[in-house]
Amino acid sequence: MRTTATVGQSDEAEGPGTPSTEADESWQIRYTAADLDRLAETESLFALANGWLGWRGCLDEGEPYGMPGSYLNGFYEQRKLSFPEDAYAYPEISDTVVSVPNAALIRLWVDGEPLDVRTGTLRTHERILDLRAGVVRRETEWISPGGRGVRIRSVRLVSLHRRPIGAVRYEVEPLDATVHVRVCSDLLANERLPERADDPRAATVITDPLTAERRRSDGLDGVLVHRTEHSGQRVAVAVAHLVDAPPTVAADVDCTPDRLRLTLTGPLRSGERLRLTKFAAHECTPVDGMGPDELADLVVAEAAAARADGFGTLLHTQRATLDVTWRTAELELDGDLELQLATRFALFHLMQAGRADGDRTIPAKGLTGNGYDGHVLWDTESYVLPVLTYLNPPLARSALRWRHAHLPEARERAVELRLAGAAFPWRTIGGRECSAYWPAGTAALHVNADIADAVLRYVAATGDDAFLAETGLDLLVETARLWHRYGHRSETGSFHIHGVTGPDEYTGLVNDNVFTNLMARRNLRGAADAVERHPDRAARLDVDEAEVAAWRAAADAMFVPYDRERGVHQQSSGFTSGPEWDFENTSEDDYPLLLHYPYLELYRKQVVKQADLVLAMLRCPGEFTADEKARNVAYYEARTVRDSSLSAGPQAVLAAEVGHLDLAYDLFAESVLQDLRDLGDKTADGLHLASLAGSWLALVQGFGGMRDDRGILSFAPRLPSRLHRLAFSLLWHGHRLRVTLTRDEARYELPDADAATTVEVWHDGERLRVTGDTPVVRPMPAVPQPGPEPLFPPGRRPARRESH
């Protein structure tokens, strides 16, 4: 299918379409080289998303690339799982994220030679991720192998305001002499992806996952509609163009089942410019929902509406949306400019990972890559939602409503496992269990308590009782039922939970994992309290007084293993009596251990992949004394290798609490730089959102000393030597509380509230009433005097953060 069209002047004024060139480097991730060895990593760093649509930060021209990707939240294909030895209740099908047709591509040929940063001469090449404007800007000066020079400027965004819309503006002009250009704006389905067979955590590549259903073009515009074969989903992407070019430039449109291409060809003389602006609209739906023609009409209309409003309007609303977001999310660090920028980078990606409308969740990699097959894991509820609850509560509510929408599948899984209530999956996209390795999947039942914990935190922070009655209660009740059925009473009357895997995946199938038991206790008590607040709703769930009493009794009798001889809690029963790992004879090349040692070796020894007992002390701080926390930190740091990006953030919080502030700062730096420095060699597959969230936890819960486990907001702040000032905001019952910490004082204020507004907080054990008219200032509390800094396995201490 081929059409031709006339190129003319776009009717959009240039003014608002030109992004700000604000020079504040602390808000810009800037790369000034092609960095061909790190293409996939930079594509993750420069990814843009809005919680529904995600575009990886590939070069406009598409070549060279590390891993292209254009994703819609919840769009996936299914594949069959096979086992050499099958068994009952093994998952038979797994979900895998697949790219939708890629609309970000704009290719360029100069006098017949394709622009490729690997060829010719790259005079300049700069890409900027602007964290305030929410765009990626690029400027390149390239001399072709034939000696022809051009300057390319582009601006790309994924609209935070308009859910389906991504847009890119691409400009090319000669550097001196006349050049003949060919510019191709592509919409491409079934792009080829590279496979990584060296790491089991890498995504499974499904070849040609999309089957074409409809294609059509109209003038400079067009649409492609595809469907998946197994997951039963349909996707449509439409593009609408604006072209501003000399009249000698001609246009042609070619449409095939997997590609729609607008081609612009003609000469550009010195001083002339070709500007192409592309607006792309994306939607997906179940195949048994909207038909292909109806879906095509929908996205065509959305793309046309975006074009009618103009690129400048998209830029303006993008900045305005982020201005509102940053008002709460902004976190100020005085004393370390690199980590100030890194913290803003982390918060930017957390904010664009979720969406308040549509009840969508947040995968482990967000929409920045296909790592972990695009699955949702416990990371969302245990790391990301504790941040979003305080910075953007609607995003947290949406993710929890997504869990609620998949309660039917969780109930079915519980029945399959001979349990009660709901058993939420360890890994999923579509709601069913996708984890093929059951000791670290099915047995990791703590995901159910993690979801309940996120519900309780959200309700406590927002006071959203309607959410509790309509959504939260169901989640709390069904997860409480699972724990009551799965656990058992011993002869001494203690309640035990056996045969689980906790957060530490190097210790599988254990009895009485402390994190799991304490989180289950919180789950059981939280469910009982919620039932008593909403008895009518609970009655519809067939909850009676006897069941509530049984939950409370189980919670009160929950067993928590403790090694009295060593004076520490056992991560799980018997953990501290197991053989020690031979760290002295483990080389740096042996990490991560899961790629070099069998689980048979890992499971039986005292080696910890990531924070587990330490995470229990963060999530349930009231269950431990100050002395217990200090001894536990010392014991478990010596055995924790941090082969997971989830670890450094919680470790930083507890290190700060027990007084090891320099160590806490080093752990915070590791967490926040996880992707910017690709510390785990996994950024190519997408960003580590949990690690980015962990950096906020390290600052706010570590140095800010914020705790929320009792339904009240308390602070016990302290600053490390390398910070002069720390300031952050968080939302509490709809009010923005601003906290500013210096060496001498802690300041609490409500900058947006009137004089009648009051928020209660606790500072170092003192109850404070903060009002809208007068800040409350208190001296910084004394920092606990710690013992010697904890030992780490050789070579596994976080890098010392030098003064900057």
Residues annotated as catalytic are 505
Quick check: helix, strand or coil at residue 179?
strand
Residue 686 CA to residue 648 CA, distance in Å, equals 18
Quick check: helix, strand or coil at residue 275?
strand
Quick check: helix, strand or coil at residue 559?
coil
Residue 710 CA to residue 519 CA, distance in Å, equals 13
Residue 524 CA to residue 522 CA, distance in Å, equals 6
Q: Are 174 and 149 in contact (CB under 8 A)?
A: yes
Beta strands 93-97 and 495-496: pairing type? unpaired
379 marked among binding-site residues: yes
Beta strands 102-110 and 113-114: pairing type? antiparallel
610 marked among binding-site residues: yes
Q: Which residue in 371, 57, 78 sits closest to 203, CA to CA?
A: 371
The helix or strand, by DSSP H or E, that contains position 616, with its residue range, turns out to be helix 613-619
State both tokens at 615: 């995470």
End-to-end CA distance of the chain: 59
Distance (Å) of CA 349 to CA 51, 357, 368, 446 = 10, 18, 9, 26
Residue 534 CA to residue 524 CA, distance in Å, equals 16
Helical segments of 487-533, H only: 514-533
Quick check: helix, strand or coil at residue 267?
strand
Bridge partner list, 149: 143
Q: What does the DSSP assignment read for 370-408?
A: -GGGG-B-THIIIIIHHHHHHH-HHHHHHHHHHHHHTHH
State both tokens at 65: 């690339």
Give the HSE-up count for residue 28: Cα atoms under 13 Å, Cβ half-sphere: 15
Other C-beta atoms closer than 10 Å to the C-beta of 230 total 14
Quick check: helix, strand or coil at residue 277?
strand
Residue 500 CA to residue 445 CA, distance in Å, equals 7
Q: Which residue in 515, 507, 512, 530 sits closest to 455, CA to CA?
A: 530
For the chain, count helices (H), then strands (E): 20, 32
Q: Which residue in 645, 781, 666, 792 sits closest to 723, CA to CA?
A: 666
State both tokens at 779: 């001296």
Q: Determine the residue type at 241.
A: H
Q: Which residue has the tokens 């038979």?
A: 92
Residue 385 CA to residue 279 CA, distance in Å, equals 32
Bind-site residues for substrate: 378-379, 609-610
